[in-house]
């Protein structure tokens, strides 16, 4: 029964992909990330960056857009105490977003507006000025955003809410959850 279910699911996915318009979307972008806890000071978002791409499977007005990005998030901690120095935290890793979206325009038009939302996974690879062992290796989030396609170019902006606390050991370090704004631009390569 399990084998039959997996076979039918694979057949369904194959049929959808074969009928879908496929667009490869390499992109670069900026992000602004802060933490939700402000104990002993204030976290301020700093400019981070991302590089990667996604593959959009479009069926008329709706689309599925999974992607993979290498991302570096940066946050400044400004201490409310004069005895503690301000610190800039950098967290790097792989972000895997999966979007479901809606196209407002026609596929053949030069300009098209989109809205999208989805879930994402963030896999930690490196940290700066914060103990890597104090941060969870995998973090989950949800996001919503909008995009604009102009000819072969696109611009996307989204806001992400973390579902998981970033810290592993809350008794030692508790910075809460991340909140991030993502802005990315790239080209659309239709297959």
What pLDDT does 3 receive?
73
* C-alpha Rg value of the chain to the nearest Å: 19
Of 79, 70, 165, 52, nearest to 125 by C-alpha is: 70
- Classified as helix, coil or strand, 39 is coil
Q: Which of 38-52, 60-74, 97-111 is predicted least confidently?
A: 38-52
User: In the chain, what are the domains?
Assistant: 21-190 (2.40.160.20)
Say what the pLDDT of residue 170 is: 45
Residue 185 has pLDDT above 80, yes or no: yes
- How far CA 30 is from CA of 7, 159, 164, 188, in Å, comes to 40, 12, 22, 18
Q: How far is CA 50 from the centre of its chain?
A: 9
pLDDT on residue 181: 93
End-to-end CA distance of the chain: 36
- pTM for the predicted model, two decimal places: 0.80
33 vs 7, which has greater pLDDT? 33
The predicted-structure confidence for 136-181, as pLDDT tens digits, reads as follows 778 899 999 999 999 999 999 999 998 887 766 544 445 567 789 9
135 pLDDT above the threshold of 80 = no
Residue-wise pLDDT for 32-44, tens only, equals 987 755 565 666 7
Count Cβ atoms below 10 Å from residue 146 Cβ, excluding itself: 14
Indicate whether 15 pLDDT > 80. Answer: no
* pLDDT above 50 for 10: yes
Instruction: Please tell me the least confidently modeled range out of 9-13, 116-120, 124-128.
Output: 9-13
């Amino acid at each position: 029964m399990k084998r039959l279910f997996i076979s039918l699911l694979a057949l369904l996915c194959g049929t959808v992909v074969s009928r879908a318009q496929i667009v490869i979307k390499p992109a670069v972008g900026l992000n602004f990330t802060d933490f939700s806890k402000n104990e002993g000071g204030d976290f301020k978002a700093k400019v981070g960056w991302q590089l990667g791409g996604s593959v959009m499977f479009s069926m008329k007005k709706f689309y599925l857009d999974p992607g993979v990005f290498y991302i570096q998030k940066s946050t400044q901690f400004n201490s409310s105490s004069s005895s503690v120095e301000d610190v800039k935290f950098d967290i790097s890793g792989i972000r895997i977003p999966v979007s479901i979206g809606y196209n407002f325009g026609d596929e053949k038009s030069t300009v098209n507006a989109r809205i999208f939302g989805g879930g994402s996974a963030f896999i930690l690879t490196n940290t700066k000025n914060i103990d890597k062992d104090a941060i969870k290796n995998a973090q989950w989030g949800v996001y919503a955003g909008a995009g604009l396609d102009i000819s072969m170019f696109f611009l996307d902006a989204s806001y992400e809410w973390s579902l998981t606390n970033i810290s592993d050991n809350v008794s030692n370090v508790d910075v809460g959850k991340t909140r991030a704004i993502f802005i990315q631009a790239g080209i659309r390569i239709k297959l």
